[in-house]
Structures are given as structure tokens and as C-alpha cells.
Structure 1
Amino acid sequence: MPRSYASAVLNATADEVWAYLRDFGNLADWMPGMQAGVIEDGGPGDRVGCVRRVWATGDSVFRERLAGLDDAGRSYWYQILEAPLPIRDARAHLRVAPVTGTGQAFVEWWGEFSADPGDEEAMDKTLSHGIYATGLDALARRFARRPGRT
């Protein structure tokens, strides 16, 4: 099962970044290429079991279920229920940790999936670079623009 991975250091504390990211329903607010998103039953975005639906450019739909949330560990993990990608049995994790020497936040985003052998390499690159790294770059820009930050 391939494992796609990306990480970044953000110019904010781990607690600040986690306070923002722990809302599973706000993906469309920070992820490039996402037009809108909702929690399907209208409940809170930090309730384990909730399903977020996000619409990407071109009306592609992603549906993902929050499988676990760990505030002490500043992480959550989720299952991808529906995606416009040739993947299956996909799950992903997002984790925020402090960089002790600088006070910044280290953010990791990774996932595992199954795909037909001919699609594995392309899907690994799509997830690692096109989704995870792109999203983390957007978060880095978001936190870099914050007043009082250098």
C-alpha cells in the first residue's frame, strides 16, 4: 500500500495552527482548488464520524469521514469515502507538532491508499505534491501573513 507524505514548518505556534486545523469542516477555506465545503449533517467539524463534502474546481466532489481526533497529540485522521481519483481504501492523517527550538509548528500530512498498479506512482505524486504539499504551502502563506509574525 503506497504512502504519500508532505511536511512543512509554519510561522506560528503548534497550538495556533492546531486551533485552526482541528476543524475538519474548514478545508475549503485554506486548500487551493477547493470551491466550497460542508459537514453533511450540519454538525460540528470536530465530531468523530462527521463527513465533509468538498467541491473542487470542475465540480469534482470529495467525501471524507473523520475517523479520529486527538487534541493532546494535535492530530486527526480520516477515511476518503469518495474522490475523483483512481484510488480506494484511502485514509490520511494530519499532525501538528511544535518545533522546540523556534516555537514554530511542524505539520505533517500523509495518506495510504490502494490503486491499480498502473496508477500507483501517479496517485502517489498527486497526493504528495498536488494535494498535501500544495495544502501545506497554502497554510504556510496563511500563517506568514498574520500580524506580528516575521
Structure 2
Amino acid sequence: MPRSYASAVLNASAEEVWSYVRDFGNLAEWMPGVETGLIEDGGPSDRVGCVRRLIGPGDSVFRERLSGMDDADRSYWYEILECPLPIRGARGRLRVAPVTDTGQAFVEWWGDFSADAADERAMGKTLARGIYAPGLDALRKRFG
């Protein structure tokens, strides 16, 4: 199963960054290309099992279910239920860790997925460079 990965160092504490990104329902606030986002049943956005519905360019729909959250590890993981990309069985994880010598936050975002052999390489790049890296760059800007 291929893995796509991106990481960044942010000028904020891990606690500050985690308190913002742990909201599984706020992706539209900071993720480039996400026009709207909501938790489908209107329930809490940190409830394991909740589903976020994201609308992107051209009314593309992404639906993702929160599979787990670990506040001690400052991470959450999710599965992609629906998306316009030619991938399947996709799972993602977002993690925030402290950079102990500077007090900054180290943020990692990665995902595993399956795709047809002809699409695998392109989808790996799309996730890493077209989704995760721009999202982390937006967080870097947000936290100065």
C-alpha cells in the first residue's frame, strides 16, 4: 500500500497547534481548496465515528470518518469514505509533536491508499504535494 507524506515546522507550540487542528470539522477554515466543510450529523467534531463532508473545487465531494483521536499523542486518524480521486481504501493521519529545542510544532500528515497501478504514482504525488503540503503550508502561515 503506497504512503504519501508531508511535514512542516510551525512557529507555535505543539499544544497551540493541536488545540486548533484537533477539530476534525474545521478543515474548511484552513485547508486551501476546501470551500465548505461540516460534520454530517451536526454532532461533536471530536467524536470517533463522525463524518466530515468537504466540498472542493467544481463541487467535488470528500467524505471522511474520524477513526480515532489521541490527545496525548496529539494525533487523529481517519478513513476516506468518498472522494473524486481514483483511490480506494484510503486512510490518513495528522500528528503534531513538539520540537523540544525551539518550542515549535512539528506537524506530519500522511496517508495510505490503494489505486490501480497506472494511477498509483500520480495519486501519491497528488496527496503529498497537492493536499498535505499545501495544507501544512496554510497552517504555517496561520501560525506565523
- For Structure 1 versus Structure 2, the TM-score category normalised by the shorter chain is over 0.9
Q: Which amino acid aligns with 1:2?
A: P
- In structure 1, list runs of 5 or more residues that go unmatched: 145-150
**2-structure distance, mates of 1:42, 1:85:** 26
Match of 1:108 in 2: 108
Question: Which residue of structure 2 lines up, in the alignment, with residue 118 of structure 1?
Answer: 118
Q: Which residue of 1 aligns with 2:11?
A: 11
Q: Structure 1 residue 137 and structure 2 residue 120: aligned?
A: no
Distance 2:57 2:143 in 1: 24
**Mapped partners of 2:57, 2:43: distance in 1:** 25
Q: Secondary structure at the match of 2:106?
A: strand
- Could you tell me how far apart the structure 2 residues matched to 1:15 and 1:122 are? 34
Shift of 1:30: 0.3
- Provide the residue aligned with 1:36 in structure 2: 36
Structure 2 CA distance for aligned equivalents of residues 117 and 21 of structure 1 = 33
- Name segments (4+ residues, structure 1) moved above 2 Å: none
Corresponding letter in the other structure for 1:73: D
What is the CA–CA distance in structure 2 between the aligned matches of 1:24 and 1:3, rounded to whole Å? 21
Q: Secondary structure at the match of 1:89?
A: strand
Aligned residues: 144
In 2, the alpha carbon distance for the partners of 1:11 and 1:120 equals 34
Structure 2 CA distance for aligned equivalents of residues 49 and 23 of structure 1: 14
Distance 1:74 1:37 in 2: 22
What do the CA deviations read for 1:41-89 (whole angstroms, capped 9, x no partner)?
0001100000000000110000000000000000000000000100000
RMSD value, Cα: 0.3
Normalising by structure 1, report the TM-score: 0.95
User: Which residue in 1 is equivalent to 2:81?
Assistant: 81
TM-score of the superposition, structure 2-length normalised? 0.99
Measured after TM superposition, the shift of residue 126 of structure 1 is 0.2
Offset from partner CA, 1:20-51 (integer Å, 9 cap, x none): 00000000100000100000000011000000
Distance (whole Å) between structure 1 residues aligned to residue 29 and residue 48 of structure 2: 20
Q: Secondary structure at the match of 1:130?
A: helix
Equivalent runs, 1:34-73 vs 2, <5 Å: 34-73=34-73
Distance 2:56 2:18 in 1: 24
Unaligned runs of 5+ in 2: none
